[in-house]
Amino acid sequence: MTGLHDADISCPYCGETISVLIDNSIEQQSYIEDCQVCCRPIVFKVDSPPDQDPRVEVRTEDDAY
Q: Which residues pair with 44 in a beta bridge?
A: 31, 58
Does position 44 have pLDDT exceeding 80, yes or no?
yes
Query: What are the tens digits of pLDDT across the range 3-38?
Result: 899 999 999 999 999 999 999 888 999 999 999 999
31 residue type, one letter:
Y
**Cα–Cα distances in Å, from 21 out to 24, 63, 65?**
9, 23, 22
34 residue type, one letter:
D
In this prediction, residue 3 carries a pLDDT of 84
If one compares 17 and 52, the residue with the highest pLDDT of the two is: 17
Q: Which residues pair with 29 in a beta bridge?
A: 46
In this prediction, residue 34 carries a pLDDT of 97
Does position 63 have pLDDT exceeding 90, yes or no?
no
